[in-house]
Structures are given as C-alpha cells and as structure tokens.
Amino acid sequence: MNSKQIQKFTQRYLEATGCHVIEKHPAYVTVKLSPEADKRLTNRSYYWGFVERTGAPPETMSFTFVFDPDKLRAEAEAKAAKEQAANEQGNQAAAIPQVLGPSGQPLGQAGADSILGRYFGVTPVGPGTLGPGRIPREEVTFGSKRLLQLFDAVKSAGKFVQLFEEPDHSARSAAGSAGYGSYLCVNAKIELECDMKRDELHSFGVDLATGELLESFHHLVSGKKLTPRLPPNVYIARPSVTLARARTIVEQHVEKMLKRYDHSWAATAQERLTDELARVDHYYEDAVKGLEEEPKREAEQQWTMRREELEWQYRPRIRVSVVNGGLFHLKRP
C-alpha cells in the first residue's frame, strides 16, 4: 500500500466510526476520536471501565495521523526557514527609529511585539496545532504498529455483516413491493506455504434459495447500493438452504478447487526438506560422537530443535481461513 491508499483507508475508518475531523491536510489528518474508535485504538480499558461503571461523560482523545512524514517534514523546514528570514528582517527593521502610539507600543505592530511577546513569545493555539505537548502525533505508514492496529480493528468489527440492496424508488413505486433473495457470502484466504508462500483471496456466495454457488461474489455486490436497514415495501423470501448447509457447500467447493491445483511446488519443497534434514543429520551424527553425557544431551536437543525448525520452514502445507462473511439480501433478476 502506498501513502494515498493508507490515507484513504484510515479516513474511511474514521468516518465510519463517527470521529470528528479537526484538520485535514494532504500529509496528515487531525481528529477527535469517537467513543467506539477510542476504545479500539487507545488501549484505555481501565478508563472505559470506569466510565461504564460510573456513567461519567466520556472524554475521548485526539490524534494527528501522519501519512506522508517526508512531505510534512519538508513543509516544516520550509516554514522554519521562512520564519527565520522574517525574524532577520525584523531585527534589521528594529534598528530604524519607530513612532510610538499613545500606549507606547510601536504603531503597525500586533500584540506579538508586546512585553509578554518579547519575553515569552507568542504561540498560536488552535485545533490544528501540531506542536509538542498538544495533540499526539503518530505516523501511519505501511508496516507501522498503528496501521496494523487499524487493520485489526476493522477485521474484528467487520467479521460479519447483514446488508440489504437499496431498491430503485421509481421501479418500486410502479411495481409495488419487491421480493429479495438471500445469499451467504464467505470471503476465504488460501495460503500455500513452504519456504515460500502464496496467498489467494476468494469470495464465494451461496444462493440460499437454490444452493447455487457463485464465485467472485464480491464483484457482484461491489457495484450495488447497500444499507444495513430493511428498505420499506421489501419482503425477504424464505430461504430453503440453511446456513450450515451453505457453509458445507463452500467447504466442498474449496476442497474440489484445491484438488485441481498444480501441486508440483509441494513436491519440490519436500525434496528441499529432505536434503536439508539429511545435511543436518550428517552434521550432528558426527558432532555427538565421543561427547560426554551432559554435552551430548545438549547437542541432541539442538539437533531436535534444528529439525523442527526445518520442518516448519520447508514442510508444504495449505491453510484455508475465513476472513469475513455476511448475509446479503439482493433483488432477484
């Protein structure tokens, strides 16, 4: 993922959880978290437990999520250089006699040149202030802990959904109520693993009226307008296939699909494993000869651990896991 994709993903999550955007910039966004986002991102379980027990009004945190640190750093350096040039011009202008106003303050200057300003400086205060001690700033880049936390939050909150297709209002008014069909969607991840790895994402849909399995189901629903609420004048047809049966249909389809794969990669991985194990066995068989009891026991433990590491690294295997799923109620064609 590049910085633009990460920024789009993060902003979609913040909008979906109801966070209030304080400042938006091409390189960062400053937000006040909603209670839902605060619970998932700040790890303040003790605080939220106190709020729930006492009923106290919650006070959520604010964060600045930086998506392009290099761009932000370059802008900060340019701003600092500009301020330094302005200060140098001000020092030169200070040598010129100035006309004082009735209050004794030079005319044409704001409160920044007051007594407090001269000794303590003027610090701009506002919701978008990025200075230290104001709003915590965190980089959200590929591989960062905060991005991984966002992935986990989205994954845990979106494991299962139930959505309805929004009807065409003009067609609905002309035809009256509309009948919808139900589909079980299962998004599965297939991992082919050895000392190398290949991941595949598949989206399966099962028609709960007929039991028909549809591949690439995500592409079927991605262009539709969906809502979590049942639209008016819509009825859901009673499904004839249970969810348990639909799950079995998906499992059987995945098994048949995997049997059709070319598994030559597994055979070559097994050959590499056999060679590595033979090499390790040859080394330790000679190493343990002539050793005393205690050193020999330690060497044999290292031998066993090394074999286990090679088994984990080279042994070919296929993992199938469900990423998420849901019930989709769609208009019948």
Per-residue pLDDT of 89-110, as tens digits, reads 777 665 555 555 554 555 444 4
Q: How far is Cα 125 from Cα 128, in angstroms, rounded to an integer?
A: 8
Identify the residue with better confidence: 48 or 168.
48
Q: Which two tokens stand for residue 325?
A: 């799923």
Within 8 A by CB and 6+ apart from 184, the residues are 205, 206, 208, 243, 246, 247, 250, 325, 326, 327
* pLDDT one-digit tens code per residue, 178-220: 788 999 999 999 999 999 999 999 999 999 999 999 999 999 8
- Can you give the pLDDT at residue 113? 46
Strand-pairing partners, residue 106, are 100
The amino acid that residue 173 corresponds to is S
Instruction: Compute the half-sphere exposure of residue 141: CA atoms within 13 Å on the CB side of its CA.
Output: 9
Average pLDDT over residues 252-269: 95
Q: Distance of CA 131 to CAs 124, 135, 141, 315, Å?
A: 9, 8, 21, 52
Per-residue pLDDT band for 3 (boundaries 50, 70, 90) equals confident
Phi, psi (deg, nearest 5) at residue 7? -65, -45
Identify the residue with better confidence: 288 or 273.
273
Exposure string over 36-52, b if 16+ CB within 10 A, otherwise e: ebbbbbbeeeebbeebe
Q: Is 180 left (phi over 0), alpha (psi -120 to 50) or beta?
A: beta
Q: Which two tokens stand for residue 301?
A: 């433990």
Question: Nearest Cα to 233, choosing from 322, 301, 171?
Answer: 171
- 32: three-class secondary structure by DSSP: strand
Q: How far is Cα 286 from Cα 297, in angstroms, rounded to an integer?
A: 14
Within 8 A by CB and 6+ apart from 326, the residues are 160, 161, 162, 163, 184, 185
The whole-model pTM stands at 0.64
- Can you give the pLDDT at residue 88? 76
Q: Which two tokens stand for residue 148?
A: 């991984």
- Can you give the pLDDT at residue 208? 95
Q: In this structure, are residues 161 and 326 in contact, taking their beta carbons and an 8 Å threshold? A: yes
Q: How far is Cα 144 from Cα 54, in angstroms, rounded to an integer?
A: 35
Q: In this structure, are residues 183 and 328 in contact, taking their beta carbons and an 8 Å threshold? A: yes
Q: How far is Cα 303 from Cα 30, in angstroms, rounded to an integer?
A: 54
- Can you give the pLDDT at residue 118? 43
Phi, psi (deg, nearest 5) at residue 285? -60, -40
Question: Any alpha helices (H) in 288-324, and if so which ranges?
Answer: 293-314
